[in-house]
Amino acid sequence: MTVIVANDTPPAIRGLLKRWFVEPRPNVFVGSVNSRTRDKTLAYIRRNAPGLGMLVIATERSSQGFSIECFGDTPRRPVRLCGLQVLAEAWDESEAAPC
């Protein structure tokens, strides 16, 4: 399973994503594609829409069962905290507790 949340997707990129993903809300794409298709699709998007901000959550063999990646300018960023990936909206290093 892969979930892509994009910011202001251009029509050509949106059309490409709709080939393999369902768009339940504007700029949110959900689908079940293999990792090769996902990686090639993301590489194409980054090449042809370099300013596009994306948050990608994909199934992966890990303790959490998924991975989180960000590309471009997004309001949230993935952070590894105590061995787990979480999404941080605003991060203050002084408040971070060591594990």
CATH architecture of 2-95: 2-Layer Sandwich (3.30)
Read off the pLDDT of residues 76-88 as tens digits, 9 standing for 90 and up.
Answer: 778 887 888 888 8
pLDDT at position 28, please?
95
Ordered by start, the domain boundaries in the chain are 2-95
Q: Per-residue confidence of the chain (99 residues) as pLDDT tens digits? A: 999 999 888 999 999 999 999 999 999 999 999 989 999 999 999 999 888 889 999 998 888 888 888 888 777 778 887 888 888 876 566 655 555
**Is the four-CA dihedral 9, 51, 34, 89 of positive or negative sign?**
negative
- Could you tell me the CA-to-CA distances from 83 to 3, 44, 80 in Å, in that order? 22, 30, 6
pLDDT at position 51, please?
84
* CA Rg value for the chain: 15
Of 31, 7, 1, which Cα lies nearest the Cα of 17?
31
CA distance 79 to 33: 25
pLDDT at position 56, please?
92
